[in-house]
Amino acid sequence: KVRSFQELKEMAPEERSVLLTDIGNLSGEEARDVEAVLDMMPSLKIDVNCVTEGEEGGIQEGDVVTMQAWISLKRTNGLTAALPHCPYFPFHKDENYWFILADSASNDLWVSQRVSFMEEAAAIATASNAIEESKEGSGTNSEEIRLAVHEAVEKVKNGSRFVISQFEAPAAGTYNLTAYCICDSWIGCDTRTSFKLKVAKQKHALAKGGAMAEEGLAVEDGVEDEEETDEGDDNYESEYSDDGEDKTKKGHGKQQDSNTHSDSDSSSES
């Protein structure tokens, strides 16, 4: 039993011929047409990598992550660019592919980008410029940059396309991501690959938080010292104030005594 085009394509030519002519009742010409279509069907492969430039300790939350992916296409007939088999479609139809990076657990879409295998010159320019800028940003010397660009050009000529995108690293944790390459023209030709993206906590934030905590403790100690000093000042002022009040009271008492003596003298004279 054959359930998909891929299974039909993977059959031995002799078995497939028997299946098409004897069981499928196709003519010899119709069987040859099927063989030509199977030879034109693409086979896709994805190689994806996520990095951060100039950062130590891997990917940390908040970092700018650069995703680089190579999508390789192979056909049995050796072609890279080809038109899909759609004889009943009323218009001209090109193959279109979409690269998608997503987290299936949370249903979040991280990257979505169209990929074309039709224009080789444009693909060479895109890959060369992206590789050169990436290598220059990481401080690579000119000879290594030249070799990397040359390798990228050869990959494009052999049927690969380069995809690059950037996104901000999410909160710390491990993310199970899946990279898809989906074709809008062929059934059963989509491919995918899964990988884990580990995001660590930001070390700069942790160090800064520790320093702020130590500074906060120092400030609190200073406030307590000031409060103790203020309490000492209050005690000193209250003691001084009490002494002044006692002296004032004693002064008033002496004045009252003198007034009393004066009144007594006046009475005696009278």
- Judge if 33 and 80 occupy the same domain: no
Boundaries of domain holding 102: 43-201
Distance between CA atoms of residues 16 and 35, nearest Å: 9
Please indicate, yes or no, if residue 255 is contained in any of the structural domains.
no
In the prediction, which pLDDT does 139 show?
A: 76
Please indicate, yes or no, if residue 248 is contained in any of the structural domains.
no
For residue 115, the domain's CATH number is 2.60.40.150
Please indicate, yes or no, if residue 124 is contained in any of the structural domains.
yes
What is the model's pTM? 0.71
**End-to-end CA gap in the chain:** 150
- Which structure tokens are listed for 93? 């139809």
- Judge if 216 and 101 occupy the same domain: no
In the prediction, which pLDDT does 221 show?
A: 53
- Quickly count: other Cβ atoms within 10 Å of residue 35's Cβ: 16
Please indicate, yes or no, if residue 81 is contained in any of the structural domains.
yes
What tens-digit pLDDT sequence spans the chain (270 residues)? 788 888 888 899 889 999 999 888 899 899 999 999 999 999 999 999 998 876 666 899 999 999 999 999 999 999 999 999 998 999 989 999 999 999 999 999 999 999 999 999 999 999 999 999 888 877 788 899 999 999 999 999 999 999 999 999 999 999 999 999 999 999 889 999 999 999 999 876 555 555 454 555 544 455 444 444 444 444 444 444 444 444 444 444 444 444 444 444 444 343
In the prediction, which pLDDT does 55 show?
A: 63
Number of structural domains, the chain? Answer: 3
CB 167 within 8 A of CB 111: yes
In the prediction, which pLDDT does 7 show?
A: 86
Residues 6+ apart with CB under 8 A from 182: 97, 98, 100, 190
> Which amino acid type is present at position 80?
T
Q: With CA atoms as reference, report the closest residue to 42 among 13, 2, 5.
A: 5
Please indicate, yes or no, if residue 256 is contained in any of the structural domains.
no
> Which amino acid type is present at position 193?
T
- Judge if 136 and 214 occupy the same domain: no
